[in-house]
Amino acid sequence: MTDLRTHMHGLWLPLVTPFRNSRLDETSLRRLTRHYCTQAIDGFILGATSGEGMTLRDAELERLVAVVRDEMAAGRRTLPIGLGLSGADTSRMKERLDETADWPVDFYLIASPYYVRPSQRGILAHFEALADHAAWPLALYNIPYRCAVGITNQTLLRLAEHPNIIGLKDCGASREQSIALLRDRPKGFRVLTGEDANYFEALSDGADGGILLSAHIETATFAAVHAELKLGNADAAEARWQEVAELTRLLFTEPSPAPAKYWLWRSGLIDSPEVRLPMVEVSSELAAQLDREIERRMKVAA
C-alpha cells in the first residue's frame, strides 16, 4: 500500500469511465491509463463522480480497478488509486468495504451520506464507523451541493484525528471554511480541492493539490500550476493558470462528465462519448463550442 500521508498531494485525475454500447469499454480504458501514466499526475480516482460510479455495477467497478492496475503493471509507472464509494446506509457501506477489501486500491474516497441529511453527530459516527472497519485508509469527500449536508470544520477536525482518515477532497464551496480548515488541520491531514475553477485559488491558500476532471485536458498545464507555486513562483503559476481557467468553466457548461468525454472522444483517447442515463451526451450547441475550442488549442500547440 502506498503511504498516502506522504504521497497524497499534487494533481490527481478522477478518471472518466469509458462506455461503448452500454458496456465498459476496456480498450479505451487501457488507452486512457497508458496516456495519463505518461503525464504529470500523482494518482487516479476511480468510480467517483467523474467516473459515473453511481451507474456502475459492482462487477464493472471491480473490473475497472483491475484493468487500470493491470495496465499500469504492464507499463513503467505505478500510481496510487483511490476508489470512490458512497452511500446513505452505514451498514451497507461497511459491507461494501468488506467486498472491496482485497481489491488493488490504496484508499477510498467517500462522500457524506446523501439524501438522508444526517446531523453532524450522525456524519461523525458514520465516518468513524467506516474508518474503524475499512481495510484501506479513507479520504473524506465534502460536497454539500450533491449530498444536501456539508461537513463542518468542527466535524472534519475530529475526523482528521482518526488514524485511518488521511485527507479530504474539498468541494465545500466556501473559501472561508477551506482557509480555516487549512489553518487548523493536524499535521499530515491532506486537503485537495475538487473545485476545478478554484484550483489556483485553493493552492494559493495552502491546499495540497487538486482532484480535477479538467486535468484530462491540458494535463501538463494543470500540473505546472502546482509545481510553480511549490517553487514560490506565484506569477508564473498564475500565468499558467490563465491558460486553462476558461477550460474549467467550459467543461462544466453541461453536466459533467459529458463535456470532457466529448473532448476525449474528439481527441481519439476514447472510442465513444457515451454516458449513462440520467446523464446525456452534450447538446449540439455545446459540441460546436467544444469543437471550436479543440481546434483553437490544436493550432496554438502547433
Mind telling me the catalytic residues? Answer: 141, 169
Crossing angle for the helix pair 284-301 and 258-266, to the nearest 10 degrees: 50
Q: Is 211 flagged in the annotation as binding?
A: yes
Query: Closest by alpha carbon to 214, among 175, 173, 243, 174?
Result: 243
Grid coordinates representing 73 are 503493471
C-alpha span between 133 and 95 (Å, rounded): 10
E strand spans, the chain? 10-14, 19-20, 23-24, 43-46, 81-85, 107-111, 138-142, 165-170, 190-193, 209-211
- Using alpha carbons, select from 217, 220, 169, 218 the residue that is nearest to residue 195: 169
Burial 47-56 (b: 16+ CB within 10 A, else e): bbbbbbbeeb
Cα(1)–Cα(58) distance, integer angstroms: 22
- How far apart CA 74 and CA 71 sit, in angstroms, is 5
Cα 72 to the center of its chain, rounded Å:
18
Residue 211 burial (10 A CB sphere; 0-12, 13-18, 19+): buried
Backbone angles phi, psi at 129, to 5 degrees: -65, -40
From CA 231, how far away is CA 212, in angstroms rounded?
Answer: 21
Hey, what's the cell of 94? Answer: 461497511
At 199, give phi and psi (nearest 5°): -55, -55
Cα–Cα distance measured from residue 194 to residue 66, given in angstroms and rounded to the nearest whole number: 25
What distance in Å separates the CA atoms of residue 108 and residue 18, rounded to the nearest whole number? 21
Q: Which residues are annotated as a binding site for pyruvate?
A: 50, 211
Q: Which residues sit in the known binding site?
A: 50, 211
